[in-house]
Amino acid sequence: MNIIAVDPGFGNTKVCVEGRVAVLQSAVVRPVEMGGAALGMRVADAACRVSFEGYEFMVGAGAWRWGRPLDSLDFGAIVGPGRLALMYAALANVAQPGDLGDCRLVIGLPVPLMLDEVQMAATKETLRKLKRPHVFTTAAGEYRFTVAALSAVAQPAGAFHDWLYNDELLPREGGARGNIAVLDLGMNTLDLFVIEDGVVQPVRLGGDTVGVRSLLGLISSNGYELAELDDQIRAGKLRPRDTDLDIWLGEVMHIVEKAWGKKLTRFKVVIVAGGGAVLLGRKLEGALAAKGAALHWPADPVATNVKGLWKYGVKHG
């Protein structure tokens, strides 16, 4: 059975199939109809258009130019139609049109959501509806697949499995022993996760909604949508001030200290993941090192969760 791993982040939607990763900015709109309004002018480049079950969305980088962003930072939207459109578009970047057959979907969920019993119960109920045939079209053609099995996994557990297993799916020697911590900083949330001798430690779980959106909230928006500001940062057109980065880092480290304490020497390794970690870069590295952390920075912190979710699906299929 094929494994489709999905990390439905609020900054990027990531999909991994057979070890191939697609990363798509999580911008989704219902496109406006132009008619003849742009005659004599150039029209903004088209984002990816996805159609399914009567829905039509434009998704990915630049989608905000075609309509008002619909995606919500609320956890309840994580499996709505807009999120499906993002998953489909990302999948189309790593698979050929046609019938993909029966698949097992491994989906990563943020730790703050999984810690909320009420929201998690509602999310589980919604996730069950994904176990069905799926048909969608993009410019490349029509895609079909059936979700025959589904696993919900904490997003940072993906980073752990990406660290634990290499690309040949061979385990790291002695990797499962000792205290392994994961710090995953995304668009919406900071997720903190600890595995000791292969067992999750509930007392060390933590997180909060202090992701990249907290940094963007410090920047004067001047009427820009969140997706536009995110797009400008990615393109290097918007450079956060050091003072803003320092304030955001303080928020992040406050949550880290609440969950893990003042010293991080108890951990064999602290695995860093997420686009927020890339933004903070050396500032985050220095703050964690000052607490005694032995750091592991993946080659691609943005993709490490979904790669690990795929490895998890293969090893636990």
How far apart are alpha carbons 203 and 187 in whole angstroms?
Answer: 24
- Kindly state the average pLDDT of the residues 303-316: 95
Residues 12 and 150 grouped into a single domain: yes
Residues 79 and 205 grouped into a single domain: no
**Residue 18 has what pLDDT?**
94
Residues 145 and 10 grouped into a single domain: yes
pTM over 0.95: no
Number of folded domains that form the chain: 2
Residues 147 and 177 grouped into a single domain: no
Query: Which position has the token pair 């139609």?
Result: 81
Tens digit of each residue's pLDDT (9 = 90 or more) over 136-150 = 999 999 999 999 999
Q: Which amino acid is present at 203?
A: V
Tens digit of each residue's pLDDT (9 = 90 or more) over 107-120 = 998 887 887 888 88
Residues 213 and 245 grouped into a single domain: yes
**Residue 164 has what pLDDT?**
95
Residues 137 and 176 grouped into a single domain: no
Residues 132 and 59 grouped into a single domain: yes
- Strand 141-154 with 133-138, pairing: antiparallel
The mean-pLDDT minimum among 89-93, 153-157, 252-256, 286-290 falls in 153-157
Identify the residue with better confidence: 78 or 136. Answer: 136
- Strand 28-29 with 295-296, pairing: unpaired
Asked if residue 291 is part of any domain, the answer here is yes
Asked if residue 21 is part of any domain, the answer here is yes
Asked if residue 11 is part of any domain, the answer here is yes
Asked if residue 160 is part of any domain, the answer here is no
List the CATH number of the domain containing 20: 3.30.420.40
Tokens of 216: 């963007």
Residues 129 and 92 grouped into a single domain: yes
Asked if residue 167 is part of any domain, the answer here is no
Among 162, 185, 145, 165, residue whose Cα is nearest residue 2: 145
Residues 293 and 181 grouped into a single domain: yes
Residues 42 and 150 grouped into a single domain: yes
Residues 190 and 141 grouped into a single domain: no
**Residue 201 has what pLDDT?**
72
Q: Which domain holds residue 225?
A: 172-301
Asked if residue 166 is part of any domain, the answer here is no
Asked if residue 209 is part of any domain, the answer here is yes
Residues 286 and 311 grouped into a single domain: no
